[in-house]
Amino acid sequence: MNGTMMQYFEWDLPNDGKHWKRLKEDAEHLKEIGITSVWIPPCFKGTGPDDVGYGIYDLYDLGEFDQKGTVRTKYGTKEELLEAIDALHAQDIHVYADVVLNHKAAADGTERFEATPVSQDNRHEAIDETREIESWTHFTFPGRAGKYSDFEWHWYYFSGVSEDTISGEQGIYRIEGEGKGWAPDEHVSNEFGNFDYLMFSDIDYSHPDVVEETKKWIHWFIEETNIDGIRLDAVKHIDNQFMRELIEDVREVHGEDFFFVAEYWHQRYKDLEDYLEEHDYSISMMDVRFHYALHEASKQHSDFDLRRLLDGTLYKSNAEQA
């Protein structure tokens, strides 16, 4: 069946904590207009109550604990989220959660470790000597007090950070140590030499503790919320071999029909095709070129040739995965 997925959020929603309530109330209407699935925003505790959801702090906090100055997220409480999901399911509408696994933000404490400043334009190029820095990498989640997981994050679970509190300098710092470094070039985008690092504290998926904890978390999350699928954020910055392992692990437990759509932010079709091939065409992907084509059409008005709307899109070459 060719369904219709609706992105049920945008960046500038009001920070009123009522989004899940609005979604619940809108479920019947969404069914009436033909919506078959809803993509919801990141539902986890971020850097504060106004965080859109991509500044991830605690993946286990769905609006349940008093952390970062708030119990609710920007969108509401955990209870309200679960009620909205139940309301959508009652209308036979699938729910796809936006999951951010690339980084963590707003740590609870700083730690000292060896790191190398690298170039913004080439993450393999050191621009200064390796030295001891101090940065925000210790996540203890005191408001949650170990509920659901007692895992604490330390510097050695990350591959890079964006600041040194000793010098006060901002930049990209590659964390050094045994087994440390960026993900292999062939496992991430090669923009800027190696595009593993994007922002905040960049998670190192070569560490077995991180892999184990992430798998534990994703099963908890799926069972806790009863979601039907996941949008994977920023996959070109995450080791694709880990992503494949994670997807396979989820489907082994929750069924082969569990839906995944990946956001690999690049207009070039070949990049998306390569990523699909790495996953044996078992996932869908956001059609980035189509996004830009619509934007260009909105700006050019009558000067835009609608016959070119699908040129270079994933949909034109591989509609099943778009």
292-316 pLDDT, tens digit per residue, is 999 999 999 999 999 999 999 999 9
pLDDT confidence band for 109 (50 / 70 / 90): very high
Q: 161-197 burial, b if ≥16 CB within 10 A, otherwise e?
A: bbbbeeeeeebbbbbeeeebbbbeeebbbeebbbbbb
Q: Which residues are catalytic?
A: 233, 263
Residues 256-263, mean pLDDT to the nearest whole number: 96
- Mean pLDDT over 132-138 rounds to 98
Q: Is the dihedral of CA 82, 88, 89, 90 positive or negative?
A: positive
> What pLDDT is stored for residue 274 in this prediction?
93
Is pLDDT of 234 > 90?
yes
Q: What is the pLDDT of residues 4-17, one digit of tens each?
A: 999 999 999 999 99
Q: Say yes or no to pLDDT of 41 above 80.
A: yes
Does the structure show a pLDDT above 90 at 2? no
Residue 43: its pLDDT value, please? 98
Please state the length of the chain: 322
As a whole-number percent, the residues of the chain with pLDDT over 70 amount to 100
Span 268-284, mean pLDDT? 93
DSSP bridge pairs for 229: 96, 259
Q: Looking at residue 1, what is its pLDDT? A: 64
Across the range 60-85, mean pLDDT stands at 98
> In this structure, what token pair is assigned to residue 254?
């929750």
78-90 and 19-32 helices, crossing angle to 10°: 10
Whole-model pTM: value is: 0.95
The predicted structure's pLDDT at residue 250: 98
Our measurement of the distance from residue 212's CA atom to the centroid of its chain's CA atoms, rounded to an integer in Å, reads: 18
The per-residue pLDDT for range 153-198, each reduced to its tens digit, is 999 999 999 999 999 999 999 999 999 999 999 999 999 999 999 9
Q: What is the mean pLDDT of residues 89-109?
A: 98
Secondary structure of residue 9 in the 3-state scheme: coil
Asked whether the CA dihedral 52, 58, 62, 68 is positive or negative, the reply is negative
CB 243 within 8 A of CB 235: yes
> Residues 95, 228: contact at Cβ < 8 Å?
yes
Alpha-carbon span 263 to 187, nearest angstrom: 15
Cβ atoms of residues 232 and 263 within 8 Å: yes
Q: State mean pLDDT over 34-45.
A: 98
Give CA–CA dist 268/108, Å, rounded.
39
| CA angle 39–292–294, rounded 5-degree value | 80
CB atoms within 10 A of CB 249: 15
> What confidence tier does 63 reach under pLDDT thresholds 50, 70, 90?
very high
Instruction: Residue 164: name the closest of 175, 178, 177 by CA.
Output: 175
Nearest C-alpha neighbor of 62 from the set 53, 12, 24: 53
The answer on pLDDT for 287 being more than 90 is yes
Domains of the chain are 5-103+210-321 (3.20.20.80), 104-204 (2.40.30.140)
Which uninterrupted H or E stretch holds 110? Answer: strand 109-118
**Residue 161: its pLDDT value, please?**
98
Please, what is the average pLDDT of the chain?
96
Residue ranges of alpha helices (H) inside the chain are 19-32, 78-90, 208-225, 240-254, 269-278, 288-300, 314-318
